[in-house]
Structure 1
Amino acid sequence: MGKSPDIIKDTSETLKPVSGRGITVMQGWYDKNIKACHVTLWDLGETDDNFSDDDAEGVTLSVQVTIFSQEDEVELAREIKSLMKADGFSFEGRNGDDSEPEDGIYMKAQRFSKFYESEE
């Protein structure tokens, strides 16, 4: 296999329309020092897939995309889902609604996966 796929890099590229508007898109988790809306990317791991003759024909990588904001970012979540699906990611699900956060920070997490074929 040649260069290993990078789910964080691919997700960052896919979300360029979001970061291009000044919304921080970064690898990691919630940063209390960022007061504005920000989006975090978290690598959820990989699984070998599409076996033929006991060899995996590729790997599926998963990522969680989480929006942290002082507002309920429903439209941004829809935009992210649409961008990800348009770029070949599969939508795997999202967390339950966090409509009344105790700390005043809304969190919307969505999980996606993408299959990468092995290079011979």
Structure 2
Amino acid sequence: MNFLAQHAELVWCIIGCMLVTAIPRVLPVMYLRAEKLPPLLRHWLSFVPVSVMAALLASQIFYYNDKFDPTPGNLYLVAALPSLLVAWKTKSFFGTIIFAMLLVAGARFFGLY
């Protein structure tokens, strides 16, 4: 008996996982080319990456020690504020992340938080 016959369910499961992973990524690229979209829709879609990044960051910045904490006792919030300045000045994604990580590591190393 060959491998495919023995593990048919596993093979179909892997194929299904490949499809549900690939389809949401391939279809928009194939059918939503920027040349075909109306200008208003292109302008609206330009805000989607920023909105997604803001939602991801807000959930990580404002929740500290498993609770909502918008106070100066929140290390992540305190590190995020100067990091915004670095992001604005340098326009460097990785530079901003490295700066924020160094701030958090430094605050923990020196016992500030």
Determine which structure has greater relative contact order: mean sequence separation of CA pairs < 8 Å that are 6+ residues apart, divided by chain length. Answer: 1
Structure of larger gyration radius: 2
The TM-score with structure 1 as length reference comes to 0.22
Larger helix share, 1 or 2? 2
